[in-house]
Amino acid sequence: MHEITEFLVNHGGPVLFGVVLLEQIGLPLPAAPWLVAAGALCADGRLNSLTVVLLTVLACLIADFIWFYLGRLRGDRVLNLLCRISLEPDSCVRRTQNVFTRYGMRGVLVAKFVPGVSTLAPPLAGMSGVSSGRFLLFDGAGSFLYVGAFILLGALFSSQLEQVLSALAGLGKGALGLVAGLVAAYIGYKYYQRRRLLHELRVARITAEELRKKQEAGEPLLILDVRSTAELNRDRSMIQGALHITIDDVERRRDEFPADRDIVFYCACPNEVSAAKAAMVLHRKGFTRVRPLLGGINAWRERNYPLDAKIEVASSAGTTSANGKTTSAAV
C-alpha cells in the first residue's frame, strides 16, 4: 500500500471533513479529487462509505449555515466581502442571483456544482428570508448530491484511480510539488484576470454628490440601474428618476442610447463592477458622457438622497413602472 492510499485510509475521515469544510467556506482548495479518491477506497472496502458521506455532508452544512446566518445578519456586507476576495468579481453575485431568480431554493440543489455560486448561495438564501429549516433541507439535499456524485465517480473508476495514485506515489515529494504548483498557477492566473478586469474598468466615476447636484440643477440625465432582478425584488428602492436595465440589454441595445446627455449607471456591487462594465460597452461605441456611480446605490442611500420605491424598466417605447403606468423614456 503506497503512502497516499495509506494516508487516506488512516486519516480519511478528518482529512475529508477538513478539506470539504475549507472549500465550502470559500478557500480555493478543491475537494473533488479527495472525494473521488475516497470513493475508490470505499469501493475496495478500505473506507466506510457511510462515515465518509456523513462527515462530508456535515462539513458542507456547517460551512453553509455559517454563511446563511451571516447573510441573515449582515447581508450586503457579507456579499461585498465575498466579492472583494473572489477571483471572479465581475459575475460572482450577479450569476448567483440569476440562479435564485430562475430556480428559487431549487438552485441550492445544484449550486455546489457551479464554481463561485456554492459559497454565495447560502448568504443570499439568508438575505431572502428563507427559514433555517427550509434552507438546511435543500442545502442538505444539495450537499448529498455533490458529495455522492464524486464518491460514486471514484467507486466506478477505482482501478484506474489506483494506478494514478501508484504513479504519483512513485514520484514521491515531486508529485506533491507538482499538484501544489498547478493549484498555485490556477490561483495566480485567476488573480491576474481579476486585476486586468479591474484595471480595464477604471472608468472615471461620478460621485453621489455630483450626481445630486446635476439633478437639482435640472440637467438632462439618464440614470440606469443595472442590478439583477433578484436584487431588485429584495430591495425595490431606486435612485430618483432612474430606470432599470439589464447588462445584457445594454449590450444588445447600445445603439439606442442618447449621446446628447450624461448617462449614469449604478449597481450595488464592489468596485462598481457591473456599472463599470455597462459604461465600458458605451465607451467603446464612442459615448463620452457616460460614467458609473462611485459607491453605487449604497453611497446614494448613505447620504439620504431621494429614492423611488418602485421599479421602472427602460424600453424603446417607454418606461413601464411597477404599477403598470407608462411614461416617456430616453432609451
Last residue of a domain, one of 149, 178, 200: 200
Regarding whether 262 and 243 lie in a shared domain, the answer is yes
User: Grid coordinates standing for 108?
Assistant: 441550492
Contact 281, 254 (CB under 8 A): yes
Regarding whether 139 and 59 lie in a shared domain, the answer is yes
What count of other Cβ atoms lies within 10 Å of the Cβ of residue 250?
A: 23
Regarding whether 120 and 156 lie in a shared domain, the answer is yes
Regarding whether 216 and 196 lie in a shared domain, the answer is no
In the chain, what are the helix, strand and coil shares in percent, each to the nearest 5? 65, 10, 25
Of 34-38, 43-47, 73-77, 101-105, the poorest mean pLDDT is in 101-105
Regarding whether 310 and 179 lie in a shared domain, the answer is no
Regarding whether 237 and 192 lie in a shared domain, the answer is no
Regarding whether 216 and 193 lie in a shared domain, the answer is no
- Domain of 261 in residue numbering reads as 208-327
Could you report the per-residue pLDDT of 177-198, keeping only the tens digit for each?
A: 665 676 677 667 666 666 665 5
Q: Residue 300 — very low, low, confident or very high, per pLDDT cuts 50/70/90? A: very high
- What is the three-class DSSP state of 266? strand
Regarding whether 240 and 212 lie in a shared domain, the answer is yes
What per-residue confidence (pLDDT) applies to 15? Answer: 86
Give alpha helix (H) positions in 104-225. 106-111, 117-127, 132-156, 158-171, 173-200, 208-216
Q: From CA 116, how far away is CA 114, in angstroms rounded?
A: 6
Regarding whether 242 and 180 lie in a shared domain, the answer is no
Mean pLDDT confidence for 215-242: 87
Mean pLDDT confidence for 19-45: 84
CATH number of the domain at 280, please: 3.40.250.10
- In this predicted structure, the answer to whether residue 122 has a pLDDT above a threshold of 60 is yes
| Tally of domains within the chain | 2
Regarding whether 40 and 131 lie in a shared domain, the answer is yes
**288 or 221, which is more confident:** 221
Last residue of a domain, one of 200, 233, 263: 200
Share of the chain above pLDDT 70, in %: 69
Query: How many angstroms from the chain centroid is the CA of residue 35?
Result: 24
- In this predicted structure, the answer to whether residue 209 has a pLDDT above a threshold of 50 is yes
Regarding whether 170 and 63 lie in a shared domain, the answer is yes
Last residue of a domain, one of 146, 166, 200: 200
Highest mean pLDDT among 32-46, 149-163, 186-200, 206-220: 206-220
Regarding whether 87 and 38 lie in a shared domain, the answer is yes
